[in-house]
Amino acid sequence: MRPIFYILIFQFFTFNFALCTKSDTLSLNGSWEFKQTDEFRWRKAVVPGVVHLDLMRNHMIEDPYWADNEIKQKWIEDKRWEYKRIFTLSEDQLNRKHAIIEFDGLDTYAQVFINDSLVITANNMYRKWSSWIWEKLKVGENEIRVVFLPIKEGATDYAKRKYDLPAGCETVNEKRSPWVRKAAYHFGWDWGPRFVTCGIWRDVRLVLTPIGVDNINFQTQFISDSVAKIKFSANVHPSSSDLKFTFSCEGEEYVLDYHRSVGYGHLDFQIDNPKLWWCNGYGDPNLYEAEIRLENQNGGVVFKKRVIFGIRTIELINEPDSIGTSFYFKLNGKPVFVKGANYIPQDLFLPSVTNENYQKLLTQVDEANMNMIRVWGGGIYEKDLFYDLCDEKGVMVWQDLMFAGSMYPGDESFIDNIEVEISENVARISAHPCLALWCGNNEMEVAWKNWGWQKQFGWSAKDSTEIWENYLRLFHEKAPEIIKNWDSTLNYTTTSPLSNWGKPENFNHSSMHYWGVWHGKEPIENFRTNVGRFMVEYGFQSYPEMSTINRFCDPKDQKLTSKVMQNRQKSYIGNEEITRQITKYAGKTKSFEEFVKLSQDIQAKALQIAIQSHLGAQPHCMGTLFWQLNDCWPGPSWSVIDYYGNEKKAYGIIKELFLIKN
């Protein structure tokens, strides 16, 4: 097993080159070709991308989101797909005798070939993948080729399993997702379809110069009205005694204490009269700008980078109190009532989410007066732009590790893979002032204790013990160790929720996912009395507006009984529960259009009752994160903003309620 130190150093080495100057890096994004491996014809492809998008661009499939095409296109996940492109190198470029191929994301089981030599074998969507390839290159044309294996071939551990494991919302017979480090929602969830994608889903580049700096981190050690003490750290690669490592901020320039043997530099500095980073509603999200530089012995700058940071402290207070067990956040020493939502990826086909989509959605978050969003554990570790926007808008981030609704293997190779994944993403995301919490997983512990998995899967006592020990090892030992080793000031909780909604006394303890309303079929009015210490999940479904529905099905299918609409509803009680509540409050509907409108009315009513109750229960309750903010495709769900960015009625209600000052 790789020690954690090695994992972090490996991550430093692979990530920094994205920061080199343009002349030192050859982007391999853009035009590629692709085909099914057992075919001969190559077709045009775009990178970053996934195979479904390329098939659609080549008119080989219809829009996957139209009607019931989800069902018709399941065959795509069972095929091998191959991508290639040619890139040209000059003699001068090869004379540098340094070349590394870097992928920011490969989805998921992939083999990378340079001029027919295998250089990378990938098995984790969430990791970066890189390889030294200088010896494989030649002057002139070079070929890069990437072969993607289907999950059923790549997830070889599945065939070796001793027992089955819970698998989120997979409805197929062969449930492989627990053995795969891939976004869980791609396998289906109760608000989204099953599209098991593959492709080069993030940037790819060829790095021709080794010098770079990354894993930049700022730790706020101490703050007062007059001074802030901050620790800055970063890594240089390759380490060299010939380089001078400098840092400048607020008119001051510093030379870092640079440990050349490992390429590690750190600096303790202070800022007088600091402007603190505050979340939305509590002050301005002030940010500082600094510059880091590497200089050679002649004083020449060989590398520089502008960095942004915020000064703040965030503490999770989760401890026994006079009520039961608290769960709240202190920002810069001040208790904050959290107002926000749960966020899921904005599409099944992730490269299709544009920077403008991020800008629009985070603006809607800001305008709704939210001060936190939770990045749910069945999706992805988001791109840097997402966290940059949260920094700018004063939106704290509750960040799940990417584990949800399942249990996971505990063999050494799987754990080694996850250690690299967590190390890379913690190092990348944690420098953002918006980062408030790392959470180990979504609903795994509460499910283990309350959902009857032991009986459902027929595990022996020995199997149950092994599965639970694997869980404890990953979320109670490995994950917190990696996180705290990276930054001792980071907050971590093993799972969400920490308390189950099944018993009244549980509402006095820690974090809560309250699904008595909806899954428990309780009256909406029960939101008034069932209020926990920190409400991480709760909600009520609705349909998107008719303009959205018209974009995914014909008028003839716009009825609850149609095959198309039944497939679109992914909740096992969805249409039944919406209809029941509409009938209770408004009587029977006369048309599908009326049903759609009233579904949004009922959702707005439910969220209004819930949020008013949470706000009114302070300090017993110190946070409310409704499920859910957005959609990954057009259809009925718990979202308040639909797939096309249209705001449902509940969005306006939430905006008004969250405007109320604490």
Give the CA distances from residue 31 to residues 48, 412, 627, in Å, rounded to whole numbers and listed in that order.
9, 38, 38
Rounded to the nearest angstrom, the gap between the alpha carbon of residue 307 and the centroid of all alpha carbons in its chain is: 22
How many whole angstroms separate alpha carbon 553 and alpha carbon 544?
13
How many whole angstroms separate alpha carbon 643 and alpha carbon 198?
22
How many whole angstroms separate alpha carbon 390 and alpha carbon 397?
8
How many whole angstroms separate alpha carbon 416 and alpha carbon 517?
40
**Interior/surface letters 641-655, b for 16+ CB within 10 angstroms, e for the rest:** bbbeeebbbbbebbb
How many whole angstroms separate alpha carbon 641 and alpha carbon 629?
6
Query: Which one of 82, 382, 419, 443 is the catalytic residue?
Result: 443
Question: Helices (DSSP H) in 343-442: which residue ranges?
Answer: 355-367, 384-393, 412-429
User: Which region, left, alpha or beta, applies to residue 30 given φ > 0 means left and ψ of -120 to 50 means alpha?
Assistant: left
Name the DSSP letter for residue 383.
P
- Token pair of 174 as six digits: 């062969």
443 is catalytic: yes
Q: Of the candidates 650, 637, 629, 641, which has an alpha carbon nearest to the alpha carbon of residue 543?
A: 637
How many whole angstroms separate alpha carbon 305 and alpha carbon 623?
37
- Token pair of 485 as six digits: 């080793």
Angle between helix axes 355-367 and 384-393 (nearest 10 degrees) is 30
How many whole angstroms separate alpha carbon 44 and alpha carbon 31?
7
Q: Of the candidates 574, 638, 643, 579, which has an alpha carbon nearest to the alpha carbon of residue 610?
A: 638
Beta strand spans in 63-211 (E)? 81-89, 100-103, 109-114, 117-123, 129-132, 140-149, 187-189, 192-194, 204-207
How many whole angstroms separate alpha carbon 282 and alpha carbon 336?
8
How many whole angstroms separate alpha carbon 602 and alpha carbon 100?
55
CA-based max dimension of the chain? 82
How many whole angstroms separate alpha carbon 208 and alpha carbon 20?
9
What is the C-alpha end-to-end distance of the chain, expressed in Å?
Answer: 49
Long-range contacts of 31-40 (CB under 8 A, 24+ apart): 31/85, 32/83, 32/84, 32/85, 32/200, 33/83, 33/84, 33/85, 34/81, 34/82, 34/83, 34/84, 35/81, 35/82, 36/79, 36/80, 36/81, 36/82, 37/79, 37/80, 37/81, 37/82, 37/147, 38/80
CB 499 within 8 A of CB 506: yes
Other CB atoms within a 10 A radius of the CB of residue 237 amount to: 20
CB 72 within 8 A of CB 116: no
How many whole angstroms separate alpha carbon 651 and alpha carbon 630?
11
Q: The tokens 């700058």 sit on which residue?
A: 301
Residues with a known catalytic role: 443
